[in-house]
Chains A and B, each alone.
Chain A
Amino acid sequence: MKLKNLGVLAAVAAMAFSACNNTPAASGGTSNKGTVTFAIELPQQGSEKAASDPIINGIKLAVTQAGGAAGGYTIQIPQSAIYDDALNGAHDAQTGANNMSKVVADAATIAVIGPLNSSVAQAEIPITSAAGLAQCSPANTNPDLTKGAPAAQLRGGKPNNYIRVVTTDDVQGPAASQYIYTTLGKHSVYIIDDTETFGKGVADAFEKDFVARGGTVTKHDGAPKTTQDYVTLMTAAASGHPDAIYFGGVTATGGARILLAAAQAGLGDVPFVGPDGINDGSAVTKDSFLNLAGDKAAHSFSTLAGIGTFDGKAKFDADYLAAYGTAATGYAAQGYACAQVFIDALGRAGATNPADMTALREAVRVAATDTTHTYNTIQGAITFNADGDTSQKIVSIYSFDPTAKDWKFETQVDYAAK
């Protein structure tokens, strides 16, 4: 625990140095208007640490590469502004809400990036919305966070402050469905979800699409993360002779446990497909799906609710590797994109010369949620609609690569036209 923190501290120290060195050059002679903070709010324990670390690295990389400044302000991400919403090893909505109260109370914080989980975002958006603080999630995919009456309730009558650079589960689920039905050619599927906001949501969206395509759902089970005996469930599932298994959930709520039990119940050779919740790093990443599944992951597939390959990916991967010594995985590019959006917004907000930090915070929120502005992010040019959803509705599909023991990019599906 201690050692890991030291590593992060070292990274921050390096960041601070590079920020100091770069600031004068980047701000190009304009007088420094002060220092602002980008806060980060992500779960950093257990299997979710494996998903959050690349995002944090991606954010820091974006800020460093932008010269650590925008709009005449110096941007800093102090360790004290990186919040952890995990409690006893898994994300916790109440902890996230408490963190967000601290984030909005800090006057220098003009934007926050996070959280990882939709259930946490549900608890946080009312707080950031009330404070008028711009929030960008690199990973939340639940549609109710931005659309319709549920989203309006979260905002509590305030103008929108929440944007996200990933697409939603009503696209992520169908993308997996299309892949299983068309590409893999499997027409009967067993569905199991973890009964949580994200897991059940994506599994339901998957089921709807799979049935609409003419596929058969042998059974749709819900197994909360406290389930003890997955072998019994999988024995029952095997009796329906499904051609594929779809899991709605994350590694922390049972992804690998279900796969291991399925292998035991005779479903070991059936494709096992899951959402971004199981795309959490290679087999050497502690706590990741592939780490726990071992060789049983041979027939596993996962999706990411974001673009998988883009112009400049090679450079991004190389820069990331050079900066952190590990390959960029999961939502690293999405973390980078969130930071880019806020750097861009801060640049435009700074140009309006806000009177004080409160005015700057509001100016950044207005700039970030501007539906007419096109952001040139690492993932390509994107705009946000009035709900805060990205125009880029791309889901990428990954398969298990047994030699690299890591997720391998297969293809990406663009849903923007649909």
Chain B
Amino acid sequence: MTTVAVAGRRSNPASRFLRIAFFAVVAIVIYQLVLFIALQQTWLVGTSALPADQAFPVAVQQTINALSIGAIYALIALGYTMVYGIIELINFAHGDVFMVGAFLSMFVTLGIFGQTVGVSVTDIPFLILLLASALIIVMPLTGLLNVTIERIFYRPFRGGSRLAPLITAVGVSFILQNLALVFVGSGDRGAPQVFPLEWQIKFGEAKISVLSIFIFALAVSLMVALNLFVNKTRLGRAMRATAQDQQAASLMGVDLNQTIALTFLLGGALAGAAGVVWGLRFGYVRQDLGFNAGLKSFTSAVLGGIGNINGAALGGFFIGFTENLASALGFSRWSEFLVFLILTFVLIFRPTGILGQQLGDRA
């Protein structure tokens, strides 16, 4: 019965995609409604309660903000979950790979293209060239960084105790942070917000920034591409096989080292993309950026079901929306509390995360 259902789903990816898109749109609309109603409640938000005509545009704008930060968390969470799925290692250094990506992106825009902090690029072809170059340069570099980390620090421990690589991962995280400290210093560094923030689409009273749409669209395209790669290609099949059973995969002729390296490459590249959009959106980078972003993204991966690629994406957006809800209603002091409260309850009642773990036979 189950097999038939799975087979049926596999045979029709287009309808599956439409179904996911449908649920996503429904979830977003529900969130907007919740926010729209909550923003009007004086018992909840006190004197900052808004009349309905003002609450609507704010709800729309906040939803778009949630999609932006959620997309960033989701992109980072994918790296955590893919690595966990394939070698059951929580790669604590992953958040710092994201941080390195954000710095590299800054160097590309500042150094190679000579942009300055606080000045945006309104020439569309040049902007496209700039963003494309940033992604094309940063993504392979962070991917390679992640592969290098795996080769030097994790591979020697493979097959042995699980604790040793875990502690090593914490160590690598500190190494990356401290290297950043040495090379770029400790304060905030201005990242040029080359994407013009004044580009906005009017939706009724609401102003939706084009940058938010760009971030969301980029993240979704990368996720779809990753999904197609994992599900449709030979290498993707090798990855899934390795995740299910390393020994059997190896016996069937899968090159384990190559497949695991590939997983780190993809995860690192996605974190690099997140780093590029981070700078565009928030205008600053700092050496300890990876710690918090990494923690949130790791939480996203656990929330969605660690090892599950779709779960990580879902978890990222879930955390983004939760934080957004707290901040939008004036409870910013409580946003982390809320995030981890929800995580705790999800894990109590559904220990494998929202979509369930995908760890193959060992789970």
Query: A interface vs B, CB < 8 Å?
Result: 1, 45-49, 86, 88-90, 195, 218-219, 221-224, 226-233, 235-236, 239-240, 251-252, 256-257, 260-261, 263-264, 266, 286-287, 291-296
In angstroms, Cα B198 to Cα A295, docked, is 14
The 6 nearest A-B residue pairs measured at CB: A294-B118, A89-B186, A287-B187, A46-B187, A46-B186, A260-B283
Q: A219-B48, A232-B62 are in contact. Are A263 and B197 (CB under 8 A)?
A: yes
With both beta carbons as reference points, the residue of chain A lying nearest to B288 in the complex is identified as A88
With both beta carbons as reference points, the residue of chain B lying nearest to A293 in the complex is identified as B118
Query: B interface vs A, CB < 8 Å?
Result: 39, 48, 50, 54, 58, 61-62, 65-66, 68-69, 116-119, 177, 181-182, 185-190, 193, 197, 207, 209, 281-284, 286-288, 292-293, 296, 320, 323-324, 327-330, 332-333, 335-336
Q: Looking at the complex, which one of B68, B284, B324, B330 makes contact with A256 (CB distance below 8 Å)?
A: B284
In the complex, which residues of chain A have a beta carbon less than 8 angstroms from the beta carbon of B68? 229, 231
What distance in Å separates the Cβ of A249 from its nearest Cβ neighbour in chain B? 13
**Interchain CB contact under 8 A, A260 and B327:** no
**Interchain CB contact under 8 A, A240 and B48:** yes
Interface pairs (14), CB distance under 8 Å: A1-B182, A89-B187, A219-B330, A222-B332, A229-B327, A230-B282, A231-B65, A231-B282, A236-B62, A240-B48, A266-B207, A287-B185, A291-B117, A292-B190
In angstroms, Cα B282 to Cα A222, docked, is 18
**Interchain CB contact under 8 A, B117 and A264:** no
With both beta carbons as reference points, the residue of chain A lying nearest to B293 in the complex is identified as A228
**Interchain CB contact under 8 A, A232 and B186:** no
Given contacts A89-B185, A239-B39, A294-B116, 7 further A-B contacts (CB under 8 A): A46-B186, A221-B333, A222-B332, A226-B292, A236-B330, A239-B48, A260-B283
What distance in Å separates the Cβ of A402 from its nearest Cβ neighbour in chain B? 12
**Interchain CB contact under 8 A, B62 and A294:** no
In the complex, which residues of chain B have a beta carbon less than 8 angstroms from the beta carbon of A218? 48
**Interchain CB contact under 8 A, B186 and A45:** yes
**Interchain CB contact under 8 A, B296 and A228:** yes
**Interchain CB contact under 8 A, B190 and A294:** yes
Q: A226-B292, A239-B58 are in contact. Are A292 and B188 (CB under 8 A)?
A: yes
**Interchain CB contact under 8 A, B281 and A295:** no
Q: A236-B327, A256-B284, A257-B284 are in contact. Are A286 and B332 (CB under 8 A)?
A: no
**Interchain CB contact under 8 A, B58 and A195:** no
What distance in Å separates the Cβ of A86 from its nearest Cβ neighbour in chain B? 7
Q: A89-B288, A292-B117 are in contact. Are A231 and B50 (CB under 8 A)?
A: no
**Interchain CB contact under 8 A, B187 and A236:** no
With both beta carbons as reference points, the residue of chain A lying nearest to B291 in the complex is identified as A226
What distance in Å separates the Cβ of B61 from its nearest Cβ neighbour in chain A? 5
Most chain B beta-carbon neighbours within 10 Å: one of A224, A231, A263:
A231
**Interchain CB contact under 8 A, A229 and B190:** no
**Interchain CB contact under 8 A, B332 and A88:** no
In the complex, which residues of chain A have a beta carbon less than 8 angstroms from the beta carbon of B54? 239
In angstroms, Cα B296 to Cα A34, docked, is 57
**Interchain CB contact under 8 A, B282 and A86:** no
In the complex, which residues of chain B have a beta carbon less than 8 angstroms from the beta carbon of A223? 332-333
In the complex, which residues of chain A have a beta carbon less than 8 angstroms from the beta carbon of B282? 229-231, 257, 260-261
What distance in Å separates the Cβ of A258 from its nearest Cβ neighbour in chain B? 11
Most chain A beta-carbon neighbours within 10 Å: one of B188, B320, B328:
B188
What distance in Å separates the Cβ of B285 from its nearest Cβ neighbour in chain A? 10
